[in-house]
Amino acid sequence: MRVTPETVREEHARVRDRAPVVVPILNDTRERLGDLFDAEVDRVAEETYRREVDAVFADGEVGVNVAGYVAVLRDLDVAGDYPGFVVDEVLGRELAAAIAGGQPLSLLAQATFHVADVHVDRDATADAAGPGAGTAGADDLDAALAAGFQTRLPGWEWREGESPFAVDPDR
């Protein structure tokens, strides 16, 4: 695989175009997590997702890594799927973390990936025509996109406002 600026642009477009598939997974994941943590979590609209995809890919250093993970997951297939379970899970976690940003969000995105992934139907993610549809990595790709973007987007009350743990150096 060779990743070029053109490759990054192509993957950016593909990730953006996945909004009709990824956003329902993202919102379902938010609802499940909200129920688990007794929290109200804002839903995300497709246009909000697309704007955030643009923001991720606007940072070239992040964009090239996200594009690489996306391309690998999109093409990853393993005969019988189960023997490849570890590699697609690792790639999915890392993609979610790269999208979410630095700590602690990257760790939260990795954990959220597993919540999303167990509820993503491989056949449902194969609805997109083109390379990667129906591969072993396809469901992990959509789960990772949902987990990463749900983590980085606002909507969680605990992320609103200043952290009570912030230290004011002037005090």
Residue 78's pLDDT is what?
76
Q: What percent of the chain has pLDDT over 70?
A: 89
Residue 138's pLDDT is what?
86
Residue 16's pLDDT is what?
98
Q: What is the mean pLDDT of residues 38-64?
A: 96
Question: What's the CA gap between 153 and 151, in Å, rounded?
Answer: 6
> Burial letters for 144-165: b for 16+ Cβ neighbours within 10 Å, e otherwise?
bbbbbbbbbbebbeeeeeeeee
Q: What is the mean pLDDT of residues 5-17?
A: 97
Q: What are the pLDDT digits (tens) for 69-99?
A: 999 999 888 776 666 678 889 999 999 999 9
Is the pLDDT confidence value at 131 over 60? Answer: no
Here the tokens at position 7 are 């490759």
φ and ψ at residue 161, rounded to 5 degrees: 80, -175
Query: Where are the chain's structural domains?
Result: 5-157
In this prediction, residue 129 has a pLDDT band, given cuts at 50, 70 and 90, of very low
pTM: 0.88
